[in-house]
Amino acid sequence: MGHYVRAFTEGSKEQKDLLGGKGANLAEMTRLGLPVPPGFTITTEACRFYLATGTLPPGLEQEVEDHLAALELEMGRSLGDSDDPLLVSVRSGARFSMPGMMETVLDIGLNDESVLGLAAASGNERFAFDSYRRLLQMFGATVLGVDADAFAVELDKLKAERGTYADVELDAADLRGLVATFKEVIRRHTGRDFPQDPREQVHAAVLAVFSSWLTERAVVYRRQEQIPDDLGTAVNVQAMVFGNRGSRSGSGVCFTRDPASGAPGVYGDYLADAQGEDVVAGIRNTVHLTELEAIDKTSYDALLEVMRLLERHYRDLCDIEFTIEAGRLWILQTRVGKRTAEAAFRIAHAMVGEGLIDPDESLRRVTGGQLAQLLFPRFDRSAARELLTIGVGASPGATSGRIALTSARAATWGALGEDVVLVRRETNPDDLPGMIAARGVLTARGGKTSHAAVVARGMGRTCVCGAEQLDIDVERGEVMVSGHTLQEGDVVSIDGTTGEVFLGAVPVTDSPVLRHLEGSSPDEADELVAAVAFVMEHADRVRRLEVRANADTAEDAARARRFGATGVGLCRTEHMFLGPRRELVERLILAADDAAREAALAELQPLQRADFVELLREMDGLPVTIRLIDPPLHEFLPDHTELAVQVALEDSLGKRDERHHTLLEAVARLREQNPMLGLRGVRLGIVVPGLVAMQARAVLEAAADRVEAGGDPRPEIMIPLVATAPELALVRAQVEEMAGSIRADRGVELPVRIGTMIEVPRAALTADEVAQHADFFSFGTNDLTQLTWGFSRDDVEAAFFPTYRDRGILAASPFESIDVEGVGALVTSAADLGRQVRPELHLGVCGEHGGDPRSIHFFERAGLDYVSCSPYRIPVARLEAARARLV
Ligand code: PEP
Ligand code: MG
């Protein structure tokens, strides 16, 4: 067989890169002997060739011809035959699922002759002409570029003439007329006739599918989901089976467990006398899958058997599309199903219990991002609230926002920072920008498998769908429900777990998972809490990285410890200089002589010491990294412009204030063009006499206090913004001297480690020299990113990152997720250089990246000892640190 095309009998589920997700799974099911209509897959390689060159790969058309001929032989029917013709579908199928983003054309092979063959063979003229009009509609819109509305308008006109809303009430003669009308629509819009040659139809449809990789909605979706742009899609050409062949036919979608909650059971939607796209589009209302048992027990039992088999084979939740044609079950697609965060944890836990997967695998089945979602608050059940209606809880969470009735409105309001709930009759791929911008999505039509549900779950947006009582009038900007008329812009609240919709904003309460992780309510009876507890326990067994907290107060440290932190990785001591203590710092800066400065330091010292005692008590027995003061001093002084105006005003009124003049002089003296690059960190400690000594004394006296109180303090003193070894050597000597004198004074053993942040590229590049004076390195990836890229960490994200992202220069902000190639390379080489000099050098990271899943995977690879992050991210970091070991 040729190079760019594979029959379903030739592939397997491992070949997703080449065959796309759908193609690989069709091949897998074919191998398993399931009833899959035969067909073949044109590989992603062919698509990439086409996207790169604008032409089809040499020989592809002949390969497709050969496979079509083989398919005709296997089916015993021919394309375009006037006597029982073969029809095929042409569907996209990329490596990563992109629901509804790319094109599909069904019923290919119909033309003016074969439609009669189909009518004769099926004994159902209505069905044949309905299929033909569907082909004209889909082919016209997706392949020939005719506006889809042009067809919809004609269909609506016909239905109005017949006085019906339902497609099924149109008879064969109506549909025959509609075929003629649709052909005319195509002729009018394209100046050409609909191609009658089935092989020409196949080739044109394949090209249209390839090209659909580049449509705007597909590009937007890939950017949102971080799917690379250069993968291309495969194309599946498959013999058609028909769910719209009367009452013994139908189509459905099912899940092997509930994708919203993870509960076991039969979940799915079924629609009689319909093709698959009718189910997913939510155009007509489906019935629950269990009702199929009464309609067609044989097919229902066969489907349950397929569900069991697929779930055991894939060892995961499967999402299956099926069609029943005249009482015969066909499986059209399966894939590992998308699920909510709650379902992910519950299914992983349950499958370990069922012996389907091992505990390590349960860690691969969940993500830190999903865990973070479970920490979200829920609506307060005791709060007064007015229920408007109940729909289907399709993606959990509890959120309130202003009603936006169009995707564009949601996007505009979202960009202004408003909380928005996108309210639509049903969503389609064009609503994607609005769904991204909204906090939640509410639809009037469709079930758990509708577009809105699938996409919202994938994005982690709260979603309620199928709230059928909603009567939405986009033109008037109104929603009518339960006797209320809501205007666009009014606030509603939606609960994506229960499907409830409330009027106005409803207050929220903490999630049970959060309470469990904080150790306040070990509610193991809750299946979700039990699942999270199981996964986290195993994560702690598997992970190598320690997880510490960035905590400046005893309260934060206590919370972090409850969340499982094993130490403080960063206490920013400058935060202890805020509030009323600001005035003391001001005095320190304004000190006219040594005596005044020392007096100010002497007053600050006991305050700091008391803070450190508390912090060390909360983290007793665990390391606490205390960083000496970092920010530029002017941050503790008033704003220059405001002060200058005040002084000028006072002077002009003859009310000169000497203190304000002195302050203004100091502000002017300390003002810097680039404070981030100025007098801060270790530089301050070197320039301001007594500052390091004061802080070191505060830490060490606090430790001595704790030792005397029977505690086990483990302080680590960390020097920020070091660029060169001599800086560190100088400050280290001062700290050691202080430690020596306090040991002697107090007569206690004081364990203390002294280390540095690595956050200036020069320090990273000379890490072997720096390490000679350091017991540990803590990578300050915030400053390291800022200084490596030359990006101001305070300004650029709003200033030009959006453009950089749109132009494809940056996929994600390097301040959120570590830039592995650049900043990451500095981290790796500094770690190596440091350990060459000191093999026992302890290595960690305390920038924002310490709590970011992708970055944590990198820090695991780089061989660091710990990550440190804000208290609420600690559970996520524990989980991701374990996952990082497994991949
Ligand atoms: C850093 O730069 O990464 C860091 C942790 O320090 P700060 O954010 O306080 O500058
Ligand atoms: Mg820093």
Model confidence band, residue 283 (pLDDT cutoffs 50, 70, 90): low
Average pLDDT over residues 500-522: 87
Neighbouring C-alpha atoms within 13 Å toward the C-beta of 876: 24
Answer yes or no: is pLDDT of 2 > 60.
no
% residues pLDDT > 70 (the chain): 98
Active site residues: 451, 846
Q: What is d(CA 663, CA 670) in angstroms, rounded to the nearest whole number?
A: 11
Answer yes or no: is pLDDT of 458 > 70.
no
Which residue puts its alpha carbon closest to atom 5 of ligand 1? 847
Q: Given the CA of residue 847, which atom of ligand 1 is nearest to it?
A: 3
Q: 394-433: per-residue pLDDT in tens?
A: 887 899 999 999 999 999 999 999 999 999 998 887 888 8
Q: What is d(CA 500, CA 389) in angstroms, rounded to the nearest whole number?
A: 6
CA 762 / ligand 2 centre spacing (Å) = 14
Asked whether the beta carbons of 756 and 768 are under 8 A apart, the reply is no
Q: What is d(CA 96, CA 9) in angstroms, rounded to the nearest whole number?
A: 22
Answer yes or no: is pLDDT of 321 > 80.
yes
CA 721 / ligand 1 centre spacing (Å) = 9
Model confidence band, residue 522 (pLDDT cutoffs 50, 70, 90): low
**DSSP codes, 378-398:** EE-TTS--EEEEE-EEEE--E
Q: Given the CA of residue 781, which atom of ligand 1 is nearest to it?
A: 3
Q: Given the CA of residue 783, which atom of ligand 1 is nearest to it?
A: 2
Q: What is d(CA 884, CA 887) in angstroms, rounded to the nearest whole number?
A: 6
Which whole-number Å values give the CA distances from 436 to 452, 516, 708, in the listed order?
12, 30, 56
Q: Given the CA of residue 630, which atom of ligand 1 is nearest to it?
A: 9
CA 781 / ligand 1 centre spacing (Å) = 7
Is residue 279 packed enough to be buried (19+ CB in 10 Å), middle (13-18) or exposed (0-12)?
Answer: buried
Asked whether the beta carbons of 694 and 734 are under 8 A apart, the reply is no
CA 630 / ligand 2 centre spacing (Å) = 8
Is residue 136 packed enough to be buried (19+ CB in 10 Å), middle (13-18) or exposed (0-12)?
Answer: buried
Where is average pLDDT lowest: 488-492, 515-519, 582-586, 839-843?
582-586
CA 658 / ligand 1 centre spacing (Å) = 37
The residue to mutate among 576, 629, 782, 817, having the most atoms of ligand 1 within 8 angstroms of its beta carbon, is 782
* Residue 257: other Cβ atoms inside 10 A: 24
Ligand nearest to the CA of 635: 1
* Strands (E) located in 556-636: 568-572, 623-627
What pLDDT score was predicted for residue 848? 87
Answer yes or no: is pLDDT of 783 > 50.
yes
Q: What is d(CA 274, CA 254) in angstroms, rounded to the nearest whole number?
A: 15
CA 606 / ligand 2 centre spacing (Å) = 26
Rounded to an integer, what is the distance from CA 577 to the centroid of its chain? 37
Q: Given the CA of residue 846, which atom of ligand 1 is nearest to it?
A: 5
What pLDDT score was predicted for residue 1? 44
**DSSP codes, 56-104:** PPTTHHHHHHHHHHHHHHHHT--BT-SSS-B-EEEEEEESS--TTTS-E
Q: Given the CA of residue 759, which atom of ligand 1 is nearest to it?
A: 2
The residue to mutate among 550, 571, 783, 868, having the most atoms of ligand 1 within 8 angstroms of its beta carbon, is 783
Which whole-number Å values give the CA distances from 113 to 120, 140, 382, 805, 868, in the listed order?
11, 19, 67, 51, 71
Ligand nearest to the CA of 721: 2
Q: Which residues contact 787 (CB under 8 A, 6 or more apart)?
A: 759, 760, 761
Which residue puts its alpha carbon closest to atom 4 of ligand 1? 780
What pLDDT score was predicted for residue 524? 62
Q: 612-637: per-residue pLDDT in tens?
A: 999 999 999 999 999 999 988 777 88
Strand partners, 500: 390
The residue to mutate among 756, 846, 849, 866, having the most atoms of ligand 1 within 8 angstroms of its beta carbon, is 846
Q: Which residues contact 555 (CB under 8 A, 6 or more apart)?
A: none
Ligand nearest to the CA of 572: 1
Ligand nearest to the CA of 780: 1
Ligand nearest to the CA of 851: 1
What pLDDT score was predicted for residue 281? 64
Strand partners, 328: 325
Asked whether the beta carbons of 703 and 715 are under 8 A apart, the reply is yes
What pLDDT score was predicted for residue 523? 63
Q: Given the CA of residue 786, which atom of ligand 1 is nearest to it?
A: 2
CA 244 / ligand 2 centre spacing (Å) = 64
Average pLDDT over residues 94-106: 85
Q: What is d(CA 90, CA 41) in angstroms, rounded to the nearest whole number?
A: 10
Give the closest residue to 225 by CA, choosing from 456, 450, 401. 456
Which residue puts its alpha carbon closest to atom 3 of ligand 1? 780
Model confidence, pTM:
0.81
Average pLDDT over residues 498-502: 91
Q: Which residues contact 498 (CB under 8 A, 6 or more apart)?
A: 390, 393
Q: Is 452 helix (H, G, I), strand (E, B) or coil?
A: helix
Residue 499 corresponds to which tokens in the numbers above? 């499907």
Average pLDDT over residues 503-532: 86
DSSP conformation class of 563: T
Average pLDDT over residues 7-14: 95
CB under 6 Å to ligand 1: residues?
Answer: 570, 572, 630, 759, 780-783, 846-847
Which residue puts its alpha carbon closest to atom 1 of ligand 1? 780
* Residue 741: other Cβ atoms inside 10 A: 13
CA 861 / ligand 2 centre spacing (Å) = 23
CA 757 / ligand 2 centre spacing (Å) = 8
Ligand nearest to the CA of 818: 1
Which residue puts its alpha carbon closest to atom 10 of ligand 1? 783
Q: Which residues contact 77 (CB under 8 A, 6 or more apart)?
A: 84, 85, 86
Which residue puts its alpha carbon closest to atom 9 of ligand 1? 572
Where is average pLDDT lowest: 279-283, 476-480, 525-529, 651-655?
279-283
Q: Where are the alpha helices (DSSP H) in 233-357?
A: 276-280, 292-295, 297-314, 341-353
The residue to mutate among 759, 788, 816, having the most atoms of ligand 1 within 8 angstroms of its beta carbon, is 759
CA 441 / ligand 1 centre spacing (Å) = 37
Ligand nearest to the CA of 781: 1
Q: What is d(CA 706, CA 19) in angstroms, rounded to the nearest whole number?
A: 64
CA dihedral 258, 457, 514, 885 (to 10 degrees): 90
Q: Given the CA of residue 572, which atom of ligand 1 is nearest to it?
A: 9
Where is average pLDDT lowest: 58-62, 253-257, 577-581, 805-809?
577-581
Q: Give the strand order in the sheet containing 233-239.
A: 5-7, 39-42, 233-239, 88-94, 104-108
Asked whether the beta carbons of 101 and 220 are under 8 A apart, the reply is no
Residue 874 corresponds to which tokens in the numbers above? 């600690």
**DSSP codes, 110-136:** --TTHHHHHHHHHT-HHHHHHHHHHHH
CA 640 / ligand 2 centre spacing (Å) = 24
Tokens 């450190």 locate to 612
The residue to mutate among 568, 574, 575, 630, having the most atoms of ligand 1 within 8 angstroms of its beta carbon, is 630
DSSP conformation class of 485: E
Model confidence band, residue 794 (pLDDT cutoffs 50, 70, 90): confident
Q: Given the CA of residue 570, which atom of ligand 1 is nearest to it?
A: 5
Biggest CA-to-CA distance, the chain: 107
Q: Where are the alpha helices (DSSP H) in 123-242?
A: 125-138, 148-162, 172-190, 198-212, 216-225
CA 440 / ligand 1 centre spacing (Å) = 34
Tokens 């979602």 locate to 373
Q: Is 450 helix (H, G, I), strand (E, B) or coil?
A: coil
Helix-, strand-, coil-residue percentages of the chain, each rounded to 5: 50, 20, 30
Model confidence band, residue 589 (pLDDT cutoffs 50, 70, 90): confident
**169: enclosing H helix or E strand:** none
Handedness of CA 503, 506, 512, 514 (dihedral sign): positive
CA 782 / ligand 1 centre spacing (Å) = 5
